[in-house]
Amino acid sequence: MHAMPPSSAEDRLPPPPLPSPGERWALFLDVDGSLLEFADDPAAVIVDPGLCATLDRLHAALGGALALVSGRALADLARLFGDPGWTLIGLHGLERRIDGGAVQRPALDAAAVERMRRETAALAARLGQVQWEDKGVAAALHCRRAPAMLPSLRAAAEALARRLPGYELQPGNLVMEFKPAGMDKGRAVQDLLAVPPFAGRRPVYVGDDLTDEHAFAAVNAAGGISVRVGDRTPSHALFTLPHPAAVQAWLNALLDALNRGAPPDATHPAASR
Ligand SMILES: O=P(O)(O)OC[C@H]1O[C@H](O[C@H]2O[C@H](CO)[C@@H](O)[C@H](O)[C@H]2O)[C@H](O)[C@@H](O)[C@@H]1O
């Protein structure tokens, strides 16, 4: 990732703009902590049907150029959001379903995956009060129920990661994640910006966590709009919103602005829904 900027100006970040007339945006949205409030248990987060309806309408108004970009597995995103037609990026960029197409995921070394699963589960059991989240080829060790555990969790996870070939650590909000090495949300966003329906549009990325910094840097380099949710510093983001409720309000304002402007891209099937 790019080096983090100094944090001096972070608290004075402005709220994100709305599109100028005729401006074509591609919208990338992180999930936990950005669209959704945190919950103690990752399986317990709630998705308001009103949010899904807003995202459906934005998907149409943006000519299909809407993606969720998450650390969750694709199957988990589909469970939460009702298997939508929007582009879904899971496991920090590793799993992809672009524009309702086939699921793409790389082949991985089965022995390395199995070892990661076994050793991360054992670490969680050994530490106690740490929740092991099974994400198939990735795993997350959560300490939201015992935040004081974070320093010892981080130290133990860093030591384990050094012994797990093919894996790297992704720190997050009261979590240490083990993910296959070499992929991040920034690369995923860059890849999407090269293909329809995202190509040729101005990227806009909304996210809250360290994993989103990769995407902020990629979006800034492409002349886009990076929006940090909350007040975590330092950050590459150029704009900010305080919490998921403010994100949802901004998404509704964005939808209004798009509907007042040019009609949606009629070449994309989402436009006729
Ligand atoms: O990239 P995201 O969509 O933000 O996903 C990042 C991780 O989010 C989830 O963990 C976080 O949210 C949980 C539910 O609110 C919370 O309990 C946990 O403490 C947070 O770290 C998810 O469980 C992970 O798999 C995602 O990678």
What lines the ligand 1 site, CB under 6 Å?
Answer: 30-33, 38-40, 42, 45, 70-72, 133, 135, 140, 142, 144, 172-175, 177, 209, 211
* Confidence label for 4 from pLDDT (cuts 50, 70 and 90): low
* Residue nearest atom 7 of ligand 1, based on CA coordinates: 71
Pocket test for ligand 1, best of 132, 175, 205 (most atoms within 8 A of CB): 175
Give strand ranges (E) for the chain: 25-29, 66-69, 87-90, 95-97, 103-104, 131-134, 139-142, 167-172, 175-180, 202-207, 225-229, 239-241
* Confidence label for 263 from pLDDT (cuts 50, 70 and 90): low
pLDDT at 96 over 50: yes
Catalytic pick from 30, 56, 184, 208? Answer: 30
Pocket test for ligand 1, best of 30, 32, 183 (most atoms within 8 A of CB): 32
What is the average pLDDT across 90-97?
A: 98
Residue 239: helix, strand or coil by DSSP? strand
pLDDT tens for 115-167 read: 999 999 999 999 999 999 999 999 999 999 999 999 999 999 999 999 999 99
Which among 165, 120, 124, 166 has a CA at the least distance from the CA of 145?
Answer: 124
pLDDT tens for 159-199 read: 999 999 999 999 999 999 999 999 999 999 999 999 999 99
* More confident of the two residues 22 and 201: 201
pTM: 0.94
Nearest 5°: the CA angle 9, 254, 221 is 45
Contact by Cβ (8 Å): 71, 177: yes
pLDDT tens for 68-90 read: 999 999 999 999 999 899 999 99
Which atom of ligand 1 has the smallest separation from the CA of 170?
27
Q: Encode 38-61: b = buried (16+ Cβ within 10 Å), e = exposed.
A: eeeebeebebeeebeebbbbbbbb
* Residue nearest atom 10 of ligand 1, based on CA coordinates: 42
Does 30 qualify as catalytic in the annotation?
A: yes
- Please give the ipTM for the structure prediction: 0.99
Compute, in angstroms, the gap from residue 248 CA to the centroid of ligand 1. 18
What is the average pLDDT across 228-253?
A: 98
What is the average pLDDT across 4-29?
A: 81
Compute, in angstroms, the gap from residue 265 CA to the centroid of ligand 1. 33
- Kindly list the structural domains of the chain, giving each domain's residue range(s) and its CATH number in brackets, ordered by start: 24-105+183-272 (3.40.50.1000), 110-180 (3.30.70.1020)
Residue 32: helix, strand or coil by DSSP? strand
Residues 243-251: contacts with CB under 8 Å, at least 24 apart: 243/37, 244/33, 244/34, 244/35, 244/36, 244/37, 247/29, 247/34, 247/35, 247/206, 248/35, 248/51, 248/54, 250/15, 250/16, 251/54, 251/55, 251/58
To the nearest whole percent, how much of the chain has pLDDT over 90?
A: 89
Phi-psi region of 68 (alpha: psi -120 to 50; beta: other; left: phi over 0): beta
Mean pLDDT, the chain, integer? 93
* Residue nearest atom 21 of ligand 1, based on CA coordinates: 173
